[in-house]
Structure 1
Amino acid sequence: MSQRLFEGKVVVITGASSGIGREMAIQLAQKGAYPILIARSQSKLETLKKEIISQYQGEADYYILDVSILEEVEKVFNMIIKKYQRIDILINNAGYGTFDYFLDSSIESIKKMFNVNVFGLMACSQSVIPYMMKQKEGHIVNIASIAGKVATPKSAAYAASKHAVLGLTNAIRMELKGTGINVTAINPGPIRTPFFRTADPSGEYVKNIERFLLEPAKVAHQVILAIEKRKREVDMPRLLALGTWLYQCFPGISEKFAGKLLDKK
């Protein structure tokens, strides 16, 4: 079933050069999809494209793009549409975070984070939605975060950006009802990826939450399952998903009794 579902589908993946973006590209290629890789690093994209073609007998293409440069987003997506005539799935995966107390965070650094995590995602989505509406089908997947539901100390700006992603995702899902376009939010906990080279240069946070770290391949697999099943939203791992539910139902109690668990950065 899944093989037929993805066979020949044009799938655009932002942030595709490493982490779960890279894993999703490989797994989708294995299922017969045509991944279009988007990121800033040409060398990493070229390496991944060659790997997909040679090792997985798949097809792939790539475009160099910094999604925070909004005027470039439309240009790149227009080039993709011109070449392939369609985009079946968009996975908004590009994003990064820095962990600092709010008072220690400059407005400039917060703007940079929002430009990638929020405005870049918005620009990519606006670029594909008109074409998906003409096709009368499509799927947009936004990689948000558990942090978009449960904020923690030293992640105010990052959590705010992911709250924005979830708000946008829920709104456009309702706006696009009846168009044939599905919209999914993926909310993973911490993942073992290069994300933490920027977010946690000291390595202290990763050390503190080692047992909760998700493997990129497993997250990518769950994203693909969510597309197959047209899920509205996925929280992972299960333990953090349960904690998120408890926090949303009992926020005061959760902050009082689980404060130390939330303060690991």
Structure 2
Amino acid sequence: MRIRRNRSVDDKKIIVTGASKGIGREIAKEIAAQGGIPILVARSQALLEELAEEIEADNGISKVYPIDAFSKEAIEEQIVQMMENEERIHGLINNAGFGIFDAVEDLNIEDVEEMFQVNVLAGMQYAQGFLPHFLQFKGKSHIINIVSQSAKLPTPKTAGYAASKQAMLGFTDILRQETRESSLTVTSVNLGPVKTTFFEAADKNGKYQQNVEKYMLQPEKVASKIVRSLFTNKREINMPWWMEAGSIFYRLFPGLMERILKSQFDKK
């Protein structure tokens, strides 16, 4: 039984980047189930078409826009294509992203550059590219950026990933301030670990996933909460609540929290 249907999603076109798997896939399915039209963006055309077929089998509608890579040139071309093909786009969910967990001394700078390109610059480019479109209409529009609790509660071995998410959170907060007089809502989604394929790249030895598996969020639950928030005046979504509470205490008492939670912080 579906709970608390968000009727403002009906017939709305909403871009979901990184839609081929994980949280993005569940968000796209939930948008379609709620009567919206997810615009599916990812690098795997085969997985996108498979998802589109699944949505259609459930009597939903979707649009497929594969992208070879989340490069500046490819995104620029894709934005132009979408603007030509779609009369009105109502929302953007910047979900594409990945992480690699390494100590600072072991960082591969090329990995860090790619994390910043996918996790930060791509999302900024999509948001900037569609911003004039969103602002020209009187009806509500929404940009949701999937960030991470790592942006608020950084832990060892996440230097590159946490830095990219801190950058995206800062961008989101500033975009919200700059558009506060408009009908555009800007929301950050700050998540703890979610049970997806994210950890296949991030945590190659499986140690962290094994240590936190019992605390992991289910992607379907995350997607449901995000879609229910679409076109509402939601500033942030923070999951799980206790990790958000920990991040607040960390900002107030960083040294104390690092001492108390050392064993938790070192689970990677």
TM-score where L is the length of structure 1: 0.96
Worse overlay, 245-254 or 31-40: 245-254
8 Å Cα contact 2:142/2:231 also seen in 1: no
Q: 1:172 aligns with which of 160, 172, 175?
A: 175
Does 1:24 pair with 2:27?
A: yes
Following TM superposition, where does structure 1 have runs of at least 4 consecutive aligned residues deviating by more than 4 angstroms? none
Identity over aligned pairs, percent:
41
Task: Measure how far apart 1:102 and its partner are.
Answer: 1.0
8 Å Cα contact 2:9/2:230 also seen in 1: no
3-state secondary structure, aligned to 1:214: coil
Task: Measure how far apart 1:226 and its partner are.
Answer: 2.5
Encode CA deviations 1:178-218: one digit per residue, 9 max, x unaligned: 12110000001000101001001111110011121010000
**Distance in 2, Cα, partners of 1:10 & 1:128:** 13
Encode CA deviations 1:222-262: one digit per residue, 9 max, x unaligned: 11122253210111111212111211121111011111111
Does 1:62 pair with 2:57?
A: no
3-state secondary structure, aligned to 1:209: helix
3-state secondary structure, aligned to 2:230: helix
Alignment of 1:72-111 (within 5 A): 72-111=74-113
Does 1:13 pair with 2:16?
A: yes
Partner of 2:125: 123
Can you give the 5+ residue segments of structure 2 that lack an aligned partner in the other structure? Answer: none
Worse overlay, 145-154 or 233-242: 233-242
Q: 2:162 aligns with which of 154, 159, 162?
A: 159
Encode CA deviations 1:31-86: one digit per residue, 9 max, x unaligned: 110100000001100000000001x2110111111553111112112211211212
Aligned length: 264
8 Å Cα contact 1:2/1:228 also seen in 2: no
Does 1:192 pair with 2:190?
A: no
Structure 1 67/123 Cα, relative in aligned 2: closer, same or farther at 3 Å?
farther
8 Å Cα contact 2:6/2:228 also seen in 1: no
Partner of 1:259: 262
8 Å Cα contact 1:145/1:187 also seen in 2: yes
3-state secondary structure, aligned to 1:135: coil
**Distance in 1, Cα, partners of 2:6 & 2:148:** 28
8 Å Cα contact 1:67/1:120 also seen in 2: no
Worse overlay, 182-191 or 76-85: 76-85
8 Å Cα contact 1:140/1:182 also seen in 2: yes
8 Å Cα contact 2:145/2:188 also seen in 1: yes
Task: Measure how far apart 1:154 and its partner are.
Answer: 0.4
Can you give the 5+ residue segments of structure 1 that lack an aligned partner in the other structure? Answer: none
